[in-house]
Amino acid sequence: MEKTAVFKNKLLPYLLLVPQLAITFVFFYWPALQAVWQSFLREDAFGLSSDFIGLENYQALFAQPEYYKAMGVTVVFSSLVAALSLTIALLFATQADKNLKAAPVFKMLMIWPYAVAPAVAGVLWLFMFHPTLGTLARPLRLLGFDWNPLLNGNHAMTLVVMAAVWKQISYNFLFFLAGLQSIPRSVLEAGAIDGAGPLRRFWTITFPLLSPTTFFLLVVNVVYVFFDTFGIIDAVTGGGPAGTTTTMVYKVYADGRLGGDLGSSAAQSVVLMVIVIALTAIQFRYVERKVQY
């Protein structure tokens, strides 16, 4: 839909666009292009000179066992966080959507973790499950469970997943609740008249009608796990122990910062960009078409 009534100035629209375009070019396009360009270069140890080496950084990257490990970690981490936070949020949202007097209060009590920084969420969970001083680690040990996320990779993964899920429930809850409330009551009533019980109605009516929201959230959650959880991983495990919680984004940071390998770091950035663009494209192709708001 386009406006029919518009202004006719020649220069003014460009002036209005200048601030945003300037910032976008300097801080978005220029660095993004630099990342692509740098991924084809090899810099010497002092950063004084660089050679064009074509795809060598990429070849080296894909020859690295650690890179496949980081990919695996990312896949496991993203699927666990997305699946758990979506399921739990949907459970809470369906309850809050019932005709309860206190529903608005619960809504407010559920959504505020959205405002907690991922890194802070990570620190909270690390404190609760810290092997020596954690309030919840003690009962685990009393039960004879040798809990130590600082040494055991599976424990570390469990901990970052819990923190990331905790942080993401509120966001998913909000969108599921909005989705549930947009389902017409008459459809559910028709189902009830036909004799379908609450569970049957959920699976045959509510869940299919909610699928656009679910798919949208799935994509958003995967992108969240990719990027926003950086703070959680850095605060809780620092990618360890032994790379068991090093996701692809964490590896870009670790290789560039600690390893000083900017070529490889840039190549990894480019691979990530391709993945994110693909995810966004999927979202637009399928979600925009199906969702009728």
Partner 1 sequence: MVEHRRWNDIVAYAILIFGVFIVAFPVYIAFIASTHDAATVVNGNMPLSPGGHAMENYYRAVFVGASRYSREPVGQMLLNSFITAAGIAIGKIFISILSAYAVVYFRFPFRKTAFWIIFVTLMLPVEVRIYPTYKVIADLHMLDTYAGLILPLIASATGTLLFRQFFMTIPDELLEASRIDGAGPFRFFKDTLLPLSVTTIAALFVIQFIYGWNQYLWPLLVTTQDSMQTIVTGIKKMLTTTDELAEWQLAMATAILAMVPPVAVVVFMQRLFVRGLVETEK
CA-angle at 97, arms to 95 and 102, nearest 5°: 80
Interface residues for partner 1 in 29-58 (CB under 8 A)? 29-32, 34-35, 38
Min separation Cβ 64 and partner 1, Å: 18
14 contacts partner 1 (rule: CB under 8 A) = yes
The answer to the question of residue 188 lying near partner 1 (CB under 8 A) is yes
Cβ 260 to partner 1 shortest distance, Å: 11
Residues 201-220 contacting partner 1, CB under 8 A: 201, 216, 220
Piece of the chain touching partner 1 by CB under 8 A; list 49-57, 62-70, 150-158, 168-176: 168-176
Q: How far is the CB of 208 from partner 1 (least distance, A)?
A: 17
Selected binder of partner 1 within 53, 76, 120, 209 (CB under 8 A)? 120
User: According to CB under 8 A, which residues from 241 to 270 bind partner 1?
Assistant: 249, 252-253, 256-257, 262, 265-266, 269
Other CB atoms within 10 Å distance of the CB of residue 157? 18
| Burial of residue 250, with CB atoms counted within 10 A of its CB: 0-12 exposed, 13-18 middle, 19 or more buried | buried
- Residue closer to partner 1 by CB (options 157, 270) is 270
In whole angstroms, the minimum distance from the beta carbon of 128 to partner 1 comes to 6
Q: Which is nearer to partner 1, 35 or 82 (CB)?
A: 35
Q: DSSP readout, 262-284?
A: HHHHHHHHHHHHHHHHHHHHHII
Burial (Cβ within 10 Å: 0-12, 13-18, ≥19) of residue 229: buried
Burial of 93 (0-12, 13-18, 19+ CB in 10 A): buried
* Nearest distance in Å: CB 154, partner 1: 21
Does position 182 interact with partner 1 (CB under 8 A)? The reply is: no
Reduced to 3 states (helix: H, G, I; strand: E, B; else coil), residue 51 is strand
Residues 57-116 that bind partner 1 (CB under 8 A): 88, 91-92, 95-96, 98-100, 102, 106, 108-116
Instruction: Report strand pairing: 41-43 vs 50-52.
Output: antiparallel
- Nearest distance from C-beta of residue 35 to partner 1, angstroms: 5
- In angstroms, what is the minimal distance from the CB of 206 to partner 1? 11
Only one of the segments 13-21, 48-56, 61-69, 147-155 lies at the binding site for partner 1 (rule: CB under 8 A); that segment is 13-21
Letter string b/e over residues 75-91, b meaning 16 or more CB atoms within 10 A of that residue's CB: eebbebbbebbbebbbe
DSSP state letters, 106-132: HHHHHHGGGGS-HHHHHHHHHHHT-TT
